[in-house]
Amino acid sequence: MCLAAPARVISIDEKTAVVDYQGVRTTARLDALTDDVTPGDFVLIHTGFAIKRLSPEDGEETLRLFDELTSSLTAEAEKAPPSTPSSHATQGVAEEQPEDA
Amino acid sequence: MTKHDERITPLHGAGGELMGQLLDRLVLPRFAGEEIGSIGLQSLDDGASISLPDLPGELVLTTDSHVVDPVFFPGGDIGRLAAAGTLNDLTVMGARPLALTLAAIIEEGYPVSDLERVLDSIADVLREVGTPVVCGDTKVMPAGDIDGIVLNTTGLGIADPPIGDADLRAGDCVLVSGSIGDHGMALLAAREEFHLETSLLSDVAPLWPMLRPVITAGTVRAMKDPTRGGLASALNDMARKSQTCIEIEEDAVPILDAVRGLSDLLGISPYDVANEGKAVMIVAEENAQATLSLLRDHPLGKDAAIIGRVTDEHPGRVILATPIGGRRFLDMPLGDPVPRIC
Amino acid sequence: MARPFSFTDPKRAKALSDAIRILAPPDPYKIVHVCGTHEMAITQSGLRRFLPDTVDLLEGPGCPVCVTPATDIDAAAEIARTGAIVCTFGDMIRVPGSHTSLDALRTEGCDVRTVLSADEALRIARDTTQDVVFFAVGFETTTPMTAVICLDDPPPNLSILVSHKLIPQAMAALLNLPDNRIAAYLAPGHVSTIIGLAPYEEWLRERRIPTVVGGFEPLDILYAVALLLRQSRDGVASVENGYPRAVDDNGSPAARALVNEVFQVVDVAWRGIGVIRQSGLSLRPRFAQLDARQRFDVGITEEADEIPGCRCPDILTAQAVPSDCPLFATRCTPLAPVGPCMVGTEGACNIWFRYNGERSL
C-alpha cells in the first residue's frame, strides 16, 4: 500500500501545493507532512497527500550509498579466503562466527 | 456453456482477455465459415479481406463502433476518433482506403452544434486522407436510452497484398511508429474527478499518409494499431497468433514525459492504454533501418523506433528486457486499467 | 526531463547483484517483504534473476486488498445498495466479497466511484446531500489521509467504512508461525516514512531477525537485500534504514499525531489469515458520527472466513507457494478468483499465474 511518486512543488497556498509530475500538474495536500517545503522542492505523494520532502542531493546521496556498499563489500571479499562456505545466520543469531583464514 | 444469469460487463468490451474469450465462445462458432479471402473472421484481425476474380490484391473491410467519454477530449473528439480509427484499421491491413460509411445513434436533446463539431472533425480527417463518406444512417433514441452519441464507421479499402498480424518469424524486428500511451493517458488526465492539468494530447490521427510508402515498400510482414488494450494487447495478440516470442527492450520504447508522469501518479502502465495514431509493425531484420527512415520522414513518425525482436524462446508470450537488465513477461491486460494506490 | 529519483542503472544493478552473490549463504535464505508495491517493483523489473538461487524474496501479507475481509466488502456492497455513493481506491473495485465486487454493483445501478484520494471523497460529499461513504483500506501509509479528512470539518453526509490495518503486527504474527524459516524482513518503505523504525525494533529485540527498510526503485531493493545479507553474514540482527532519502528514523510525527487523534487500535481479521491482535484501526468514540459501521449498522469482522481447499493462509504467510494449492489455476484464476491471493494484481497467486509459475525469466 505504498505507491508514492515524486513531484516538484510549484507553489504553496497554506496546506495545499500545486505540484508537477513531469509536466502533469495537480494539487496535493500537505496536512500529513512533517517536513517544511518550499517551491522547487520535490515531495513524495501518496493518494494526493505529500508524505516526505526530497531534495536533489538526496538522489546523489542515494547513489553514493549504493556505491559505498558495493565497493566495501568487494574490498572485504578480496581480503577474505576463497569460497569456504561460512556458517551464516539463517535464522536469528549465528551460532558460530564465520570461518576465518 | 453460458450460465443463465451471466451478464455482459464492461470487461467484455475492453479489448483484453475477456473480450477475446467472448469472441471465442459466442461469435466464432456461429459465424466463422467459408473463407472468401486470405484474412477472415477467424483471424480476428483489424479487418477482413475479400478476394474477387480478376482483382489484383483483395478488398479489405472493417467496422467499428465508437463510444468515448468525454466526447470532446484533448486533441480530438469522437468524430476524429471514429474516422481515424476505421481508416487506420484499413491502413494497418495494408489497404488503401476507398470509402467510409457513417452511422450515428444520437440521444434526443443532443445539441446540434456539438453534432456539427463532430461532423467537421470527421470531414477534416477524410480530407487529409482523400477518402469520401459514401453512405450512412441516423437514428435518434429517447433521452436517457443512450448516452449522447454513438458512431459506427465501416471502411472499405484495397490491399495488394493484405497485411495480417500473424506472420512473425524469429529474427524479425519490431517497430513502433511513435510514442506509446498518449491517447489513453490523455483521456484519463481529462477526467474531471482527477483534477489533473497537462498539455498532453490524444495522438488520434490517420496513419495512411505516413504508412503508404512503408506499405508500398512491401516489406511489412505483420502490422496492428495498438488501440484498446494498448501495446501489451497488440503484442500479445501477435505473439499468440504466430506462436513466436516477442522481446521488447523497455529503454527503446518511446514514451513522453507527461505519459510517464501520469503513469507514476495513477499507477497505470503506458503499455496497457490505448493509442489512436500509432502502428506496430514487424519486418525482417534487413529491412528494419529502411522502414525506420520511411517512418521518420513523416511528422507523425518522428519518434518511431525499433523496440525489439521476434524470437522462439517462449512461444506465444511477450517478454520485456527491463532497464536494470532484468526480464519479465508483459501480460495481456484484463480490462480497462484502474488507478491503483498499492 | 528525466524521471526524477529513478534508480535503474544496469551497471550498479550488476554490482549490487555481484555483492549479493558474495554475501549469500550456501543454505536457503528466505527474505519476506510485506508490501504489494515491493512485489510490483520486483516483478516489473525482473529483479529476482539478480538474486542467487538460495535467496528467496517472498511476499507476505502485503497486498491490502487481498487481506481485506470479504465481509468488509460485503458491508460496502450493502451500503452501496442503500443508494449511498461509495468511494474507494481503484485497487478495491474488482475484489470479490462473498458474493459480488463493488465494480459489479454498478451494473445494478449502484453509485460506486474510484477515487485517487480520501480528499476526493470529501469533495464529493461537500457537493451533494446524498450519503457518501469512503471505504478506507490500506496500511499506515494511507491512514493519515483518512485521519485528515475526518478532522477537516467533514459534512454530515460523509462517513467512513474503516478497514485500515497495521503491518508490523502482521510481521510479528508471521514469526509466530511454527517452521516459518523467515531469515530476514524487507520492511515497507513508505509505511516506514510514516511510522519510522521504532515499531520494528519493538519485537525485533526478541526475535533477532535482520530488518532493512527498503525503497521501491530496483536498485533500492537490491541495496536492501545486500544490507540484509551483510547483517546475517556478520551475525547481527538490527533494524536498518535502507531508504534514508524517504524515511527519517523517527518517521513522520505530524502524520502519526493525526492518526492517533482519530483512530484507536483494535483486533481485526485478515482475509485468509485470521485475527491478528491489535492490527487494525477503528474510529475513536468522538468520531462516531463518521463511522459508517454505526450509521449503516455493519460490524467489524472478527472471524476468519475460510474457503475449503484454499491455501491462501499458507501463501499469505509465505509458507507455501501458489502451485501448492489444489485450486490454483484450476478453479481459481485471475478472471475468476476464489481466494484473496489471486484477487489483486500484487497477490502472490495472481503474479504466479501470469508468470507461468516461473521464479524468474
- How large is the ipTM? 0.93
Q: At what angle do helices B257-266 and B182-189 cross, to 10 degrees?
A: 60
A-proximal residues of C, 94-133, CB under 8 Å: 116-120
| Per-residue pLDDT, C1 | 63
Candidates B18, B334, B342; nearest CB to C63 = B342
Query: Do C186 and C84 fall within a single domain?
Result: yes
Task: For residue C159, give how far its alpha carbon lies from the nearest alpha carbon of chain A (Å).
Answer: 18
Q: So what's the architecture of A1-76 in CATH? A: Roll (2.30)
Cβ–Cβ gap C14/B319 under 8 Å: no
Query: Do C129 and C230 fall within a single domain?
Result: yes
- Does residue C18 form part of some domain? no
Are residues B149 and B108 in contact, defined by beta-carbon separation less than 8 angstroms? no
Query: Do C115 and C228 fall within a single domain?
Result: yes
Q: Which domains does chain B have, with CATH numbers?
A: 46-159 (3.30.1330.10), 173-329 (3.90.650.10)
Are residues C40 and C196 in contact, defined by beta-carbon separation less than 8 angstroms? no
Candidates B9, B322, B340; nearest CB to C107 = B9
Query: Do C91 and C147 fall within a single domain?
Result: yes
Nearest residue on chain B to C16, judged by CA atoms? B324
- Does residue C7 form part of some domain? no
Task: For residue C331, give how far its alpha carbon lies from the nearest alpha carbon of chain A (Å).
Answer: 28
Note down the domain range covering C329: 312-354
- Does residue C359 form part of some domain? no
- Subunits with 3+ Cβ pairs within 8 Å of B are A, C
* C27 contact A CB<8A: yes
pLDDT-derived band at C133, boundaries 50, 70, 90: very high
Higher per-residue confidence, C66 vs C343 = C66
Task: For residue A75, give how far its alpha carbon lies from the nearest alpha carbon of chain C (Å).
Answer: 10
Which chain C residues contact residue A66 at CB under 8 A? Answer: 7, 12, 15-16, 219, 223
Q: What is the pLDDT along chain B (342 residues), one digit of tens a residue?
A: 666 778 787 767 766 667 778 888 999 999 988 889 998 888 888 889 999 999 999 999 999 999 888 899 999 999 999 999 999 999 999 999 999 999 999 999 999 999 999 999 999 999 999 999 999 999 999 999 999 999 999 999 999 999 999 999 999 999 999 999 999 999 999 999 999 999 999 999 999 999 999 999 999 999 999 999 999 999 999 999 999 999 999 999 999 999 999 999 999 999 999 999 999 999 999 999 999 999 999 999 999 999 999 999 999 999 999 999 999 999 888 778 889 888
Distance CA B318, CA C64 (A): 29
Cβ–Cβ gap A3/B261 under 8 Å: no
Candidates B265, B340, B341; nearest CB to A24 = B265
**Nearest Cα residue to A4 out of C189, B257, B231:** C189
Query: Do C202 and C321 fall within a single domain?
Result: no
**What digits encode the pLDDT tens for the residues C153-177?**
999 999 999 999 999 999 999 888 8
Length of chain C: 361
Which CATH number does the domain housing residue C68 bear?
A: 3.40.50.11740
Candidates A1, A8, A32; nearest CB to C255 = A32
Higher per-residue confidence, C232 vs C107 = C232
Distance CA B334, CA B14 (A): 8
Cβ–Cβ gap B328/C115 under 8 Å: no
Higher per-residue confidence, C65 vs B272 = B272
Cβ–Cβ gap C8/B324 under 8 Å: yes
- Does residue C181 form part of some domain? yes
Cβ–Cβ gap C10/B18 under 8 Å: no
* B112 contact A CB<8A: no
> Model pTM?
0.93
Candidates C37, C117, C193; nearest CB to A3 = C37
The shares of helix, strand and coil residues in chain B, as percent rounded to the nearest 5, are 35, 25, 40
Query: Do C286 and C342 fall within a single domain?
Result: no
- Does residue C6 form part of some domain? no
- Does residue C4 form part of some domain? no
- Does residue C43 form part of some domain? yes
Q: A58-65 long-range contacts, Cβ below 8 Å, gap at least 24?
A: A58/C5, A58/C245, A59/C4, A59/C5, A59/C245, A61/C244, A61/C245, A62/C5, A62/C7, A62/C220, A62/C244, A62/C245, A63/C7, A63/C12, A65/C223, A65/C244
Query: Total structural domains in chain C?
Result: 2
- Does residue C76 form part of some domain? yes
Cβ–Cβ gap C246/A34 under 8 Å: no
- Subunits with 3+ Cβ pairs within 8 Å of C are A, B
Query: Do C337 and C278 fall within a single domain?
Result: no
Query: Do C299 and C153 fall within a single domain?
Result: yes
Mean pLDDT within A6-33 = 97
Which chain C residues contact residue B264 at CB under 8 A? Answer: 3
| Per-residue pLDDT, C299 | 65
Query: Do C72 and C164 fall within a single domain?
Result: yes
Task: For residue C106, give how far its alpha carbon lies from the nearest alpha carbon of chain A (Å).
Answer: 23
The burial of B3, by beta-carbon neighbours within 10 Å (0-12 exposed, 13-18 middle, 19 or more buried), is given as exposed
Query: Do C94 and C228 fall within a single domain?
Result: yes
Q: For residue A83, is pLDDT > 80?
A: no
Query: Do C213 and C327 fall within a single domain?
Result: no
Query: Do C268 and C319 fall within a single domain?
Result: no
